[in-house]
């Protein structure tokens, strides 16, 4: 049985880690206008997306978001088979996540396409997140 001291220490460590984690970076949703202003339009292609670099993925993002209904309800395994393995990370390894922009002088944040999932690991939405290290 756990002693009260061990439980108290565990809770302190948990909340301290959560506080530190929350202070190190912020995540915001990138709107479609910002995406359009920082990329050149390229028609989305699953085959091209799977084999392309980060910059080409960025250029395809606006078109992907315009057709995201195609992916809603699909399993995460379907996404990985179609678009390839994740190149980013969002909350856990379950979320298909693709980095589309690294931190640079113009925008001090990395951008990631995140396939948000339901409890049964089906896609419920696709968003672009800006992750800024403070």
Quick count: other Cβ atoms within 10 Å of Cβ 59? Answer: 19
CA-closest candidate to residue 126, choices 73, 59, 49: 73
Closest CA to 61 of 77, 81, 41: 41
- Rounded-to-integer distance, Cα 129 and Cα 120, Å: 22
Average pLDDT over residues 65-84: 95
What is the pTM (predicted TM-score) of this model? 0.76
What pLDDT, on the 0 to 100 scale, is given for residue 82?
95
> CA 103, CA 8: separation in Å to the nearest integer?
39
Phi, psi of 38, deg, nearest 5: -115, 20
pLDDT per residue as tens digits for the range 26-70 = 568 888 998 899 889 999 999 999 999 999 999 999 999 999 999
Higher-pLDDT residue of 68 and 14 is: 68
Sheet holding 97-101, edge to edge: 25-29, 123-133, 110-117, 97-101
């Amino acid at each position: 049985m756990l002693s009260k001291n061990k439980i108290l220490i565990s809770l302190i460590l948990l909340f301290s880690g959560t506080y530190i984690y929350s202070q190190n970076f912020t995540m915001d949703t990138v709107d479609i206008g910002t995406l359009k202003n920082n990329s050149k339009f390229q028609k989305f292609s699953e085959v091209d997306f799977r084999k392309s670099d980060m910059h080409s993925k960025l250029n395809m993002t606006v078109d992907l978001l315009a057709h995201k209904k195609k992916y809603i309800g699909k399993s995460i395994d379907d996404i990985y088979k179609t678009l390839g393995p994740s190149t980013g990370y969002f909350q856990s390894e379950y979320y298909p996540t693709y980095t589309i922009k690294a931190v640079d002088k113009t925008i001090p944040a990395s951008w990631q396409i995140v396939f948000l999932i339901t409890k049964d690991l089906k896609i419920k939405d696709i968003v672009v997140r800006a992750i800024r290290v403070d």
